[in-house]
Chain A
């Protein structure tokens, strides 16, 4: 029996909406966070040996390390916030053809922009909190 199920039309037929950016960023940040998983394993393994730890810590507290950690921090917050939206919509809340109608439920689309803004805000907040704690000497 030939497969008669409909195929997706080409991406170009859709009007641009924020969920396209959300979806792409979710995948890209997920990919980047997988590299971060290797960093977590590396950190824990390095911590078992004093010499290895000092090499690890000196790189990740250097400026290249700090920039990378900042990017990882944002990736985590973005993936986490957007993931919560995924979980909420997986549960069926606020999801369906009616919600996608901008006039009926404007929050369906504005949530995407809120997630982007909140992820940036939380990144800065945690960075500042950690910096304050380190400056305060309380590691």
Chain B
């Protein structure tokens, strides 16, 4: 038998792997949560001032003008996608922690995915509409 990482004596790979937890998508979840968190640090601070400016803009044309620029529009798209992604990952953990009825847990997790996807898509479409109409 060839050796493998973590081998001790005559233990089989199965014996070594048991007890270390599941091998599903936890690592990916963990990494995406951190990467979106890092992106959201500058983006969310920047967005505070965008939203503040939009809410107190002199007129509607000024609101559109705040979004309808390439840099603003692209950053808003990145921000909203990261925001919904990060939020969905966090809510997923909350569901997994507190919902102990398996069918309800899965149903909520799927509904959460749908909702986050719709929210992100609607935000991106709105920014594109403002950007492309505002520039045209």
Q: Are B44 and A76 in contact (CB under 8 A)?
A: yes
Within 8 Å by CB of B126, from A27, A33, A48, lies A48
Q: Are A5 and B19 in contact (CB under 8 A)?
A: yes
B interface majority secondary structure: helix
Chain B contacts for A33, CB-based, 8 A = 87
Q: Are A80 and B41 in contact (CB under 8 A)?
A: yes
- A115 CB–B CB distance under 8 Å: no
Cα–Cα distance between A27 and B26 once the two chains are bound (Å)? 19
The distance from the CB of B56 to the nearest CB of chain A, in whole angstroms, is 4
Chain A positions near chain B (C-beta within 8 angstroms): 1, 3-5, 27, 30-31, 33-34, 37-38, 40-41, 43-45, 47-48, 50, 53-54, 57, 60-61, 73, 76, 80, 83-84, 86-87, 90, 126, 130, 133-134, 139
Chain B positions near chain A (C-beta within 8 angstroms): 18-19, 34, 37-38, 40-41, 44-45, 47-49, 51-58, 60, 62-64, 67, 76, 80, 83-84, 87, 90-91, 94, 119-120, 122-123, 126-127, 129-130, 133
